[in-house]
Structure 1
Amino acid sequence: MKNIESKFEDLYNANYNKVLRLCLGYSNGDSMLAKDLAQDVFIKVWENLKSFRSESNISTWIYRIAVNTCLLNLRKKKTLKVLGEVKDLEIDNDSSAEKEFKLKQLYECISFLNKESKSIILLELEGIPQKEIAEIMGISHQAIRVRIHRIKNELTKCVKK
């Protein structure tokens, strides 16, 4: 039992902040809801850790749980609010106020995407490799590359309006 607890603690420490940021994107910047969702994710990880089959990277498995947990929450609520500021996204050569404004514009535009596109771009913004995003989403790597390109074009048009 001690070994599984140690493994879980390592997984939690390595993945919590990434899962929390992903949940923030789905919860439209509501930090309390994002923390609740992240907690739900890690409860599911704990409950299912013994059954993890190692068919993929464990972080991919955790992200899949996070995406599914967040999507389930969206289905329950069926309401989307304007996304709040998400840290760790850099917009070069802008003042702090400009960065915050651009971030809010970007995440407001992301909130209008369909659930699958939203999942893909939030994982991309998290810095997850595209091959891993493909595995998480259950589609080919080539399809992910095309969709990310299209989503970025769509978001660029939205932000410029």
Structure 2
Amino acid sequence: MRQIKRGDPEAWEQLVQRHYDTIYAYCYRRCFGDKKLAEDLTQDIFFKLIKSIDKYQFTGKFFNYLFTIAVNTCNSYYTKKRFQLTELEDYLPDTGQKDSLTKVSEEERAMAIQESLNQLPEIQREALILKFYHDLKVKEIAKITGVSVSTAQSRINQGTKKLGKLLDKEALMDE
């Protein structure tokens, strides 16, 4: 960050390469799988980072600072615009070496999880995405979302319980 503040374009390029995929994946999940919207929001997040670079203070993890911008950008978008839900193609790693039955089963499970996740209240969905898809600690989630640690933990716990019930309900319907 110090090099970026001094105007080093290579440092900026390294920062974008290091964090772009993670921020895009977060936006993709928040956008219910809308790739174009996720790309636009990701670009907007990095643009906001550029604009706020002078305000950045070297306290805490940079990643938390960037994720705070990402969370706030997505929240602002959803506050301003309501959009129709689209079916999500899950953001899965390459499973090309697995047999087709296993691959189909994993894709169905991932879609079921994402569809159930989409039904949760936004604050719980956001907490679960940060916790389970981005492996953030509760303390980091609290800081990023601007709530207390106990509130972040409560959102994760409540969201996990609701998600479990939704998945159980779906499993019963499939039988």
* TM-score of the two chains, using structure 2 as the length reference: 0.80
Cα distance between partner residues in 1 of 2:166 and 2:103: 21
Instruction: Give 1:52 deviation, angstroms.
Output: 0.6
Segments of 5+ residues of structure 2 without an aligned counterpart are: 96-100, 170-175
Q: Which residue of 2 aligns with 1:78?
A: 82
Aligned-residue sequence identity (percent) comes to 25
- After TM superposition, list the pairs within 5 Å mapping 1:1-161 onto structure 2: 3-81=7-85, 82-88=87-93, 95-124=102-131, 125-161=133-169
Deviates more, 1:73-82 or 1:129-138: 73-82
- Matched to 2:13, the amino acid is E
* Number of residue pairs the alignment of both structures matches: 157
1:95-131 deviations in Å (ceiling 9; x for gaps): 1111111111111111122221121111112112222
Unpaired runs of 5+ residues, structure 1, are: none
Q: CA deviation at 1:28?
A: 0.9
The two structures, once aligned, show a CA RMSD in angstroms of 2.1
The farther-off stretch of 57-66 and 139-148 is 139-148
Q: Structure 1: which 4+ aligned runs deviate by more than 6 Å?
A: none
Task: Give secondary structure in 1 for the equivalent of 2:57.
Answer: coil
TM-score (ref. length: structure 1) = 0.86
> CA offset at residue 73 of structure 1?
1.8
